[in-house]
Amino acid sequence: MSSPPAQRLTSVQWLICTIAAIGFAFDIYELLMLPLIVKTAIADLHPQIGTPQDWLPGGPMYVNWARILFFVPAIAGGVFGLLGGYLTDRLGRRSVLTWSILLYAFGACAAGFSTSLYQLLFFRCCVFIGVCVEFVAAVAWLAELFPNPEQRERVLGYTQAFSSLGGVLVAVMAKLAAQYADVLPSIHGVNAAWRYTLISGLIPAIPLIVVRPFLPESPAWQKKRQEGTLKRASILALFSPELRLTTIMTTLVFATTFGLAFGAIQQNPQILAGHVDVLKAVEKEQAQRQEVAAKDGKTLSPKELGGIKGNVTDRIAAGVQSWQEIGGLFGRILLAILAVRVVSRRTLFRIFQIPSLLLVPLLYWWLSNNLKTEGSLELFRYAIFAAGVLVVGQMSFWGNYIPLVFPVHLRGTGESFAANIGGRVLGTAAAFITLTLSTSTPPNPGRIALMGACVAGAYAIVGAILTGFLPEPGPETEDHG
């Protein structure tokens, strides 16, 4: 059966693509906030117990809360995201998509006003739930909007490229927040850059509220529902004989992609806090601010010095993050170009997977041995750009691949299981493992880099082995009507 020809996009289709692109962009925007702000947020909100050393990156209490903030929201997102995938198949793509974006925008904004680590944890859980549900609904919606395979591949590829734009935007926002924190209104009596970065997550809710009345439902899903042929979604159906291998392999290989990111790359702000170039920048800024205060007969308090340290390290970490995310944007665009030229999905994935298997572990092993080498931060910026191309390109692959291997009535549920149980839970667990293995006394950021190399390498090897078992989608699985 031949595929229908590609059609010019209508104004409504352009609107849907725009909203989906905004959703993808702010998915990553929200998720990548935590690696950028976790260090300074813990420093500001931690209870006055233990010693100051315990709360430095690599210290036991810091590691405990960093693990909690990385992993507990991922579990919440995985569980509720799986429910969201089921609701996407039961209630429709449009309503679930819009409510999920509103949920994570609210959660991000509220997190900026947290007064304790427990409050920050709760609102980060809200963010993760919204993000996990939004990804599934948006991918299902776009996949069913374009029945022509090549057009569908292009739309999914290019709209997902906006995810990396979200990564660039959050890095820029964090850098701007750190640069201008002192002139912004204080929150709870402090001008903390991490709070303004979190609050900026409210932005995606604004265009959504305006255009929500004009968004149509998925035509494929709506048609089957009206005809009474839409089968009831079921998580158990994912493990039927015809879908069992697809579900298991997609979930596990999806997890290895996230493991590369969260096991190593997303630990950059914690690692770079101990880099000699960063420490020198902190000392210089503190000295300059002390000199200005001395002219007015004042002395900066330890809390003010700590705030300066946090803002400077945040600014530098955000700058490094922007290199990674610009690389990720190139990776997503490259994936979108190759998706319509490379027939085998496994081959397409390996174009990004195999080089990352070598680059990422070696890069973080090198970083663990060069934290005290002046000038090495500049070289790391270039290398993290290449890592971004490879790892983020893999992430974009999944949005193109998953809709091809699950039928319409299970598309949201199948995507949700693979993305949330695989990516958000099993994949994000890499951060928990890296931080656990890196605990040391005294705290040692270099050990975080070394453990990141080991954990990312282990995930990458497992992924390279299991990719051989990923099913190649065929006409019988590409059910879009």
Q: Which of 43-47, 122-126, 169-173, 398-402 has the highest mean pLDDT?
A: 122-126
Q: What average pLDDT does the chain have?
A: 83
Query: Residue 339's pLDDT band (boundaries 50, 70, 90)?
Result: confident
Query: Residue 164's pLDDT band (boundaries 50, 70, 90)?
Result: confident
Q: What is the pLDDT of residue 377?
A: 92
Cβ pair 345, 401 in contact under 8 A: yes
As given in the structure block, the two tokens for residue 116 are: 């304790």
Q: What is the pLDDT of residues 85-119, one digit of tens each?
A: 777 777 777 777 778 878 888 888 899 999 999 99
- Rounded to an integer, what distance in angstroms lies between the CA atom of residue 178 and that of residue 285? 13
The position carrying tokens 């099913």 is 471
- Rounded to an integer, what distance in angstroms lies between the CA atom of residue 454 and that of residue 368? 11
- Rounded to an integer, what distance in angstroms lies between the CA atom of residue 408 and that of residue 48? 53
Q: What is the pLDDT of residue 460?
A: 96
Cβ pair 390, 352 in contact under 8 A: yes
Query: Residue 348's pLDDT band (boundaries 50, 70, 90)?
Result: very high
Cβ pair 230, 408 in contact under 8 A: yes
Q: What is the pLDDT of residue 474?
A: 67
Cβ pair 345, 470 in contact under 8 A: yes
pLDDT of 481 strictly over 60: no
Q: What is the pLDDT of residue 204?
A: 66
pLDDT of 366 strictly over 80: yes
Query: Residue 1's pLDDT band (boundaries 50, 70, 90)?
Result: very low
Cβ pair 43, 69 in contact under 8 A: no
Q: What is the pLDDT of residues 292-322, one digit of tens each?
A: 888 888 888 777 777 778 778 878 887 888 8
pLDDT of 394 strictly over 70: yes
As given in the structure block, the two tokens for residue 342 are: 């490379």
Q: What is the pLDDT of residues 51-81, one digit of tens each?
A: 777 777 777 888 888 888 988 888 888 788 7
Q: What is the pLDDT of residue 49?
A: 78
pLDDT of 245 strictly over 90: yes
Q: What is the pLDDT of residue 63?
A: 81
Closest by CA to 104, choosing from 122, 127, 85, 84, is 127
Q: Which residue has the higher pLDDT, 168 or 238?
A: 238
pLDDT of 242 strictly over 60: yes
- Rounded to an integer, what distance in angstroms lies between the CA atom of residue 170 and that of residue 174? 6
Whole-prediction pTM: 0.73
Closest by CA to 349, choosing from 301, 298, 399, is 399
Average pLDDT over residues 266-294: 88
Average pLDDT over residues 160-175: 78
Fold of 12-212+241-469: Growth Hormone; Chain: A; (1.20.1250)
pLDDT of 23 strictly over 80: no
